[in-house]
Chains A and B, each alone.
Chain A
Amino acid sequence: MKYNTILKKTALGMLFVSSIVLGSCTDLDETLYSELPGDGSYKFTETEIAAQYGVIYDRLRDMYDGWEGYMDISQECGDLIMTPYRTYGGWGAQYVSLHKHEFHPTINHLYRPWYSCYQGINSCNQLLDDEVISSNDVAVAELRTFRALFYYVLFDLYRNIPVTTTLKVPSDYMPEQETPQFTYDFIVKELEESKPLLTKVVEKGQLNYYGACMLLAKMYLNHDAWLPESPNNQYYGLAIEQVNEVINSGVYTLAENYREPFSVAGSKENIFELMYNNKYAGHGTNHFCKWFPAVCKDVFGVSFDPWNGSACIPQFFYSYDDDDSRKADTWKWGVQRDQQGNILYADGKEVNLTPEVWAIEKPGAGDYQGARLWLYEIQPGNIGTSDDNVPFFRLTDAYLIKAECLLRLGGYKGETEQDAADIVTMIRRRAFKKNPEKAVRTVAQLKGGSVYDYGLRETQGTLDADKNITNVEIIETHEGGDDIILGGLLDELAWEFVYEHHRRQDLIRFKMTNGCNVFNGKSWFGKSANTDPNDRHKDIFPILQDNLDANPKLKQNPGYNKSK
């Protein structure tokens, strides 16, 4: 009896406890505290939605000037700069295949432009999907222009790319690649429709009406190079129309000197800039750290040890006119001094940066081989170039697009080839201030061959313990630049845009008399020519294997099947 009472009480007690417990403790909902939930349980405010614009700017910077970004991949495969294997620093190997045009689907550089451009596109699509934003024509035009810019970069590099314009898709949707013609038309249409709605007001870091003009001009300028199956001269005329709007607006003016667009102070020449700021978004390591040997930090009063990497390709270095101030404005070579003028020493020897380099690999480059780039302003302080904005489009580019199209068309709407030569001369004047007559370029010079001494040019061998090269094998062929159509203009583009995102695009656009483009058809330091005009598969890069793995609907670009 006593037991039974206790039992009953216990049972009741247990029931009571269980009901509290079970009632309150089967709740399995999640509460976020330090992140915003995007599952609809919280409605974003307008400011929160606007903050998603941040991703667009961030990804623009990243795709362009992030480590192994668009600028890097556009330069490392060209004939102006290289990052040779540094025999004693032990790095640089990852650039060798890009330099030698041995492209394959696992090159690191294939990652960042793809990843960041599509992240940017996602953000544009997400904002465009928003009801409030989509009802604002100006906002829509701006987002479509940004998105077109990302697609432009992807199109330039990979050509066969998926195009998406919304995030509102079924959960099992896997994007497929579009044809080059489709994507080309898409980008042009997006820009043509958006441009009229964009502001003409110049605001730093913003893509305005004139930015859209430049982007359209680029699309038109490269039409024949990117869609070689359907060449059409008229596109050069369309490009001129676009840059004329920029030039004639008078909103932008050419910089007084060559380095001004790359300075902290900035320049009226810059049409669209990627904004950097030491405090909020420091400019990365591509410009100082990637180039100079550690000891050279004292040249600029920078505290951070740079990594001793990239170098000017010697053939390009020697292509400059000695009176061209852009040479010294771009490159550092010779004996290096600190800011007080004292010669720098390393291992008891004077630090002397020689323009000569042994080889891209086997053995690679010695510690102090190769001229180094100091185009962007290097400020005393941490990374050196943290505050420098990147001019994505600048007025000189507009002028030289116009010159190129005039030369390709033999004149357009009353403007002549001589006008093209005059433009080039005008641009060159700021580089030949001491020797103005050398600034003059004639039509014949521009349409003639290149002065770049193309051909293989390496000193291969092995290194002994004292860092001297032995078993030397000189690899030297001579191709010259005479057979390059508009070679004089191509040289001008090199000297002017040496470490911007130009070179690969330009080399693919400029052709040789044998029908090849310069990118494939010429040899230079460590890179062999491919003289088959029909083999143009290297005009575009393979798609990164990881991207193919993530989406089985994607097909590798032609010529890059996994097993060679």
Chain B
Amino acid sequence: MIVKGKVKDKSGEAIIGANIMEKGTTNGTITDIDGNFTLKVNSSKSILTVSFIGYKSQEVIAANAKDITMSDDSELIDEVVVIGYGTQRKGDVTSAISSVKSEDFLAGNYNNAGELLKGKVAGLTITKPSGDPGAGTEISLRGIVSVSGNASPLVLIDGVPGDMGTVPPENIASIDVLKDASAAAIYGTRGAGGVILITTKTGAREQKAVATYAGYASFSNWAKEADFMTSEDIRAGKTQYNDEGYDTDWLDAVSRTAITHNHSFTIQGGSASTTYYGNVSYRNAQGVMKKTGNEDLSMSFDVSHWMFNNMLKVSLNIVTDNYKYEINDAAYIYRQAVIRNPTSPIWNEDGSYAERSLLQYYNPISLQKENTGEAKSQTNRMTGNITFTPIKGWDTNLMIASHRTTGKSGSYNTKYHTTTAINNYTGEASLNDNYDRTDYLELTSKYHTTFADKHRFEGMVGYSWSESTYESAGMWNANFPTDYFGYNNMDSGAYLKDGKASMSSYKSESSLVGTFARISYGFDNRYNILASIRYEGSSKFGDNNKWGAFPSVSLGWNIMNEEFMKPTGKWLNNLKLRAGYGVTGVIPSSPYQSIVRYTYSGGNYYRNGKWSKGLKAVSNANPDLKWEIAKEFNVGLDWGVLNDRLGGTIDFYIKNTSDMLYEYAVPSPPNLYTSTLANVGKMRNTGIEVMVRALPIKTKDFEWNTTLTMQHNANKLVSLSNDLYQTENIIWLTGVGDPVSQYTHKVEVGKSFGEIYSLKAVGVSEKTGLFLIENPETGQAAEFYQEMRNDRDNWYQRMGNGIPKISMGWNNTFNYKNFDLVMQFTGQFGFKIINQQRVFYENNAHAYNKLKSAADAIGGIRPLSAQQSQAVTSYYIEDGDYLKLTNMTLGYTYNLKENPYLKSIRLYGSVDNLFTITKYKGTDPELGSNNFWYAGVDDRDKYPTVRSFTVGLNVTF
């Protein structure tokens, strides 16, 4: 018989693309744009299985299939998550994996997938410390993975490596995060930092063509401005500046209200045998600092075709991205703007820039206006997949992909540019280009079956190969006869003839080859086991250690499916215990680290009556160089109660890193070079991650969904020595630069990274206006003197740690009829910040503009005297705790069922970075996590963060 039916959700909306299968056969179809389907079945008693992501699967008898209403899959157990080289039913998952779907992404002024995930995955700390529209997010998963290898998470876009900025957010369907090593071990040497799997949208079979437009405009301004002395303060004699009689708002002069607009147009659809998806996105983003911003035009096209009775699927995917951004030294211009005398004019009476003779003190308008610079890049990602499915359950896939980027950047400073003029150049120009290419080949074959109803089996083997080539070239020239050319006539600069222009080029290559296998077995939906291994080699390793093995095993126990749990079935929906162990690796970040290399960097020398270039070794040999090993044990619990209106996960992990890559200082002689990259140290990260989600209110018209994520990680450096490479087990770091140049951090074996050490200021001397510094041994206070700054053994004390103890995200979604409101909070707690802006400018010993607070009496006694040099003391080390309303979005959706042209329209308004609750005095306590060596240092030259107001429109045609 022929069954005709319609699949709807509980609100009566058609479900597009739902899967209808005749049970026990391979016969099936999917619903069309109106939710309708037609299927020829054996008999009216045939059972149809109806499934769709996000809904509970259900079985109906063909005769009753006219009108199928699917209920939300609030249990989420059947949800499919993406794991490495495949997918898994959530209920079968045995390791720590988080999944975020596109409908949960934040709406706002975002161009980076990292921002969509912020605060949504427990264990994943995502921060954006910069207001530069081109800046990305900084991501750390489960603490510090590696001290010098490449330890950022591996980001795979449909299986091909990329980064969080590779795909415009509009094209992303879901993001899955493999957090623990039992999940990531299948990625071997690239897995230690975790793996982020981005799945892009595609068309669906039997789908009517749908076109959507999504667009928004955003207006940004500084989130918070630093409070520097104004011209009135200068006139009142509060700085060393003379009153020059003008009133210039320097920051205002170099910044603006930035406008960003973003447009995205998508067409998707499919016939019975072919699907397609095409998208074009355009973004033009301005920075709040003038002359910063970018333009991005990206186009993607994806087509899949099924052949031979669905036995063969061929997919072609191409993404091309044209990106352009303005180059200038915005952070430095920002510094010059805040420290400049507000009574100085911008221009002299003759129209030239007003400059003053003071060290590192330049007219910011000149730096900004007299520089032009632009970087352009074009990225092409081409992927082809052939999937062969000779029998149900056995898929063999060949993927061939190539990822190529070409870039070109040029920069020109006119002869009026301050630092150019100081260097005595009449104009200087640079021009650089680069080419980056990686080719991939991956062959996987997997099989899955269920037998005797209780045994689920999956197996997979694969081979992967990739080779990367990087090439770059650059040139620099100065003393141009005219400013007219900019960087477009490089040879006209006189420095070339003088032999002082410079030129460079470079090429490197590396390859990575691996074979891998995985088996997964499940018994009766109760016990699941998964084991995998990857055997991988890299050209970056030394001759003695080219290949390594990375095994993993994990177990899952769906407790609620046990017989003895029956009595709890009324209120307990889900209870699963997971445990996993895996080994992952970290690869050296650059190639050629294991061999002695010579370059002509040995200085020019005069011999035999002429100048020649010296040849010098720039590395030592280390044939033992290999991957860093991370062994991680994870245990987790998933739970859900009250019809899954309340649920969550909790995970504990211990991650032991050994053979840690580190550039060890070695004695020279006998070594040619003074350091060697070697596998020596050990580190441990332990932590806990909690995610709780709830649906506290659910009525016909109103729904409140809330999700809280929280994580805590403890880091410990276990060792930095072995027999061959030894260190004193303590590394002191200078996290605040010239002219303060003072120790700020002590990295010590047995302790965590990020330990801040400094001079403890207990007050100010009434007589001299110098800090009173506590002697840690005697507890007595002594007046500050210069040598204290270097005397780390006698005067420095621990001031806390710069790495947050707890990071959290709190996401709330309210739906009322057609309105939706999202409020996303993020926060970090339990860390200290060295406020560099205060170190430098809340001080009276320098000749620049100061923070107003420099005039405050410390402890009610007096301000610092002009004799107290700029120095880091505990006075500038603050609590960083903050809670931020990262995003608030209010949207309204019109459903236009009757309109022949439009299906729906959604309007929304959004604010990013609306407010921050913190005691921190700097512009923003949200710091990056990449530079954990100097955790807690808030750079004075940072591009301050911004607040953006966005209005957006999504239309479905």
Pair from one complex: yes
Q: Answer whether A31 and B509 are a contact pair too, CB < 8 Å, given A304-B424, A462-B867.
A: yes
In whole angstroms, what is the CA distance A74 to B846 when docked?
30
B564: interface (CB < 8 Å): no
In whole angstroms, what is the CA distance A346 to B732 when docked?
40
Contacting residue for B592 out of A32, A361, A465, CB 8 A: A32
Q: Which residue of B lies closest to A91 (CB)?
A: B739
- Which chain B residues (766-811) contact chain A, with CB distance < 8 Å? 767-770, 785-787, 789-794
Contact A462 B768 (CB under 8 A): yes
Q: Which residue of A lies closest to B611 (CB)?
A: A280
B599: interface (CB < 8 Å): yes
> In whole Å, how far is B680's beta carbon from the nearest beta carbon of chain A?
13
- Which chain A residues (8-31) contact chain B, with CB distance < 8 Å? 10, 14, 17-18, 21-22, 25-31
In whole angstroms, what is the CA distance A53 to B591 when docked?
28
Contacting residue for B602 out of A58, A348, A465, CB 8 A: A58
Q: Which residue of B lies closest to A362 (CB)?
A: B785
Chain A residues with CB under 8 Å of B769's CB are 462
In whole angstroms, what is the CA distance A279 to B499 when docked?
7
In whole angstroms, what is the CA distance A280 to B396 when docked?
61
Q: Which residue of B lies closest to A549 (CB)?
A: B728
Contacting residue for A90 out of B467, B617, B870, CB 8 A: B870
B484: interface (CB < 8 Å): no
Q: Answer whether A34 and B672 are a contact pair too, CB < 8 Å, given A28-B541, A53-B614, A174-B667.
A: no
Q: Which residue of A lies closest to B591 (CB)?
A: A30
B263: interface (CB < 8 Å): no
In whole angstroms, what is the CA distance A404 to B666 when docked?
42
Contact B865 A462 (CB under 8 A): yes
Contact A58 B595 (CB under 8 A): no
Q: How many A-B residue pairs have CB under 8 A?
A: 285
B866: interface (CB < 8 Å): yes
> In whole Å, how far is B787's beta carbon from the nearest beta carbon of chain A?
5
Q: Which residue of A lies closest to B470 (CB)?
A: A33
> In whole Å, how far is A110's beta carbon from the nearest beta carbon of chain B?
12
Q: Answer whether A93 and B789 are a contact pair too, CB < 8 Å, given A38-B617, A55-B615, A205-B606.
A: yes
A121: interface (CB < 8 Å): yes
A167: interface (CB < 8 Å): yes
Contacting residue for B357 out of A22, A119, A305, CB 8 A: A305
> In whole Å, how far is A193's beta carbon from the nearest beta carbon of chain B?
21
Contact A6 B390 (CB under 8 A): yes
Contact B597 A32 (CB under 8 A): yes
> In whole Å, how far is A367's beta carbon from the nearest beta carbon of chain B?
9
Contact B359 A39 (CB under 8 A): no
Chain A residues with CB under 8 Å of B770's CB are 462
> In whole Å, how far is B847's beta carbon from the nearest beta carbon of chain A?
5
In whole angstroms, what is the CA distance A22 to B461 when docked?
14
A416: interface (CB < 8 Å): no
In whole angstroms, what is the CA distance A126 to B672 when docked?
9
> In whole Å, how far is B564's beta carbon from the nearest beta carbon of chain A?
45
A294: interface (CB < 8 Å): yes
Contact A471 B604 (CB under 8 A): no
Contacting residue for B614 out of A22, A51, A381, CB 8 A: A51
Contact A125 B424 (CB under 8 A): no
Q: Looking at the complex, which of A99-107, A434-442, A533-541 is the stretch in contact with chain B?
A: A99-107
Q: Answer whether A552 and B726 are a contact pair too, CB < 8 Å, given A54-B614, A97-B787, A115-B674.
A: yes
Contact B237 A52 (CB under 8 A): no
In whole angstroms, what is the CA distance A18 to B618 when docked?
39
Q: Answer whether A106 and B602 are a contact pair too, CB < 8 Å, given A361-B785, A548-B728.
A: no
In whole angstroms, what is the CA distance A30 to B543 when docked?
10
In whole angstroms, what is the CA distance A88 to B597 when docked?
45
A550: interface (CB < 8 Å): yes
In whole angstroms, what is the CA distance A120 to B513 when docked?
41
In whole angstroms, what is the CA distance A394 to B178 when docked?
69
The residue among B424, B724, B844 with the most chain A CB atoms within 10 A of its own CB is B424
B665: interface (CB < 8 Å): yes
> In whole Å, how far is A126's beta carbon from the nearest beta carbon of chain B?
7
> In whole Å, how far is A268's beta carbon from the nearest beta carbon of chain B?
18
Q: Looking at the complex, which of B12-20, B166-174, B500-508 is the stretch in contact with chain A?
A: B500-508
In whole angstroms, what is the CA distance A167 to B537 when docked?
31
Chain A contributes a number of interface residues (CB within 8 A of B) equal to 111
B546: interface (CB < 8 Å): yes
Contact string, A373-408, partner B, CB cutoff 8 A, digits 1/0? 000000001100000000000000000000000000
The residue among B423, B611, B738 with the most chain A CB atoms within 10 A of its own CB is B611
In whole angstroms, what is the CA distance A361 to B770 when docked?
13
> In whole Å, how far is B569's beta carbon from the nearest beta carbon of chain A?
44
Q: Answer whether A27 and B846 are a contact pair too, CB < 8 Å, given A35-B599, A106-B792.
A: no
B858: interface (CB < 8 Å): no
Contact B359 A89 (CB under 8 A): yes
Contact B422 A3 (CB under 8 A): no
> In whole Å, how far is A281's beta carbon from the nearest beta carbon of chain B?
5
> In whole Å, how far is A556's beta carbon from the nearest beta carbon of chain B?
12
> In whole Å, how far is B744's beta carbon from the nearest beta carbon of chain A?
14
Q: Answer whether A17 and B443 are a contact pair too, CB < 8 Å, given A30-B510, A37-B597, A305-B357.
A: yes
Contacting residue for B670 out of A91, A175, A281, CB 8 A: A175
Q: Answer whether A294 and B357 are a contact pair too, CB < 8 Å, given A90-B869, A97-B787.
A: yes
Contact B847 A88 (CB under 8 A): yes
In whole angstroms, what is the CA distance A196 to B672 when docked?
30
Chain B residues with CB under 8 Å of A61's CB are 603
Contact B668 A119 (CB under 8 A): yes
Chain A residues with CB under 8 Å of B599's CB are 34-36
Chain A residues with CB under 8 Å of B793's CB are 562-564
In whole angstroms, what is the CA distance A100 to B790 when docked?
14
B441: interface (CB < 8 Å): yes
Contact string, B605-625, partner A, CB cutoff 8 A, digits 1/0? 111010111111110010000
Contact B621 A281 (CB under 8 A): no
Q: Answer whether A93 and B499 are a contact pair too, CB < 8 Å, given A30-B510, A38-B621, A362-B785.
A: no
Contact B598 A38 (CB under 8 A): yes
> In whole Å, how far is A51's beta carbon from the nearest beta carbon of chain B?
4
The residue among B358, B614, B621 with the most chain A CB atoms within 10 A of its own CB is B614
A266: interface (CB < 8 Å): no
A48: interface (CB < 8 Å): yes
B385: interface (CB < 8 Å): no
Contacting residue for A167 out of B508, B669, B739, B741, CB 8 A: B669
> In whole Å, how far is B77's beta carbon from the nearest beta carbon of chain A?
34
Chain A residues with CB under 8 Å of B598's CB are 35-38, 48
Contact A57 B786 (CB under 8 A): no
Contact B667 A37 (CB under 8 A): no
Contact string, A37-73, partner B, CB cutoff 8 A, digits 1/0? 1110000000010011111111101100000000000
Q: Which residues of A contact B (CB under 8 A)?
A: 3, 6-7, 10, 14, 17-18, 21-22, 25-39, 48, 51-59, 61-62, 85, 87-91, 93-94, 96-97, 100, 102, 104, 106-107, 115, 118-119, 121-123, 125-126, 162, 164, 167, 169, 171-175, 203-206, 275, 277, 279-281, 294-295, 303-305, 307-308, 346-348, 361-364, 381-382, 462-465, 467, 471, 545-552, 554, 562-564
Q: Which residues of B contact A (CB under 8 A)?
A: 237, 240, 242, 311, 357-359, 388, 390-391, 396, 398, 421-424, 441, 443, 445, 463, 465, 467, 498-500, 505-511, 513, 537-541, 546, 591-592, 594-600, 602-607, 609, 611-618, 621, 664-670, 672, 674, 723-724, 726-728, 732, 738-739, 741, 767-770, 785-787, 789-794, 844-847, 865-867, 869-870
Q: Which 8 A-B pairs have the closest CB atoms?
A: A54-B614, A58-B603, A38-B596, A57-B605, A51-B615, A550-B665, A551-B667, A33-B507
Question: Can you list 17 contacts pairing A with B, beta carbon distance less than 8 Å?
Answer: A22-B463, A28-B511, A33-B508, A35-B592, A37-B595, A37-B596, A48-B615, A53-B614, A55-B614, A96-B787, A102-B787, A119-B674, A169-B670, A361-B786, A462-B768, A471-B768, A547-B667
Knowing that A38-B598, A162-B669, A364-B867 touch, tell me 20 more A-B residue pairs with CB under 8 angstroms: A18-B463, A25-B465, A25-B511, A30-B594, A34-B505, A37-B595, A37-B597, A52-B615, A55-B614, A58-B616, A87-B869, A106-B792, A204-B606, A277-B611, A281-B603, A281-B604, A463-B865, A550-B666, A563-B793, A563-B794
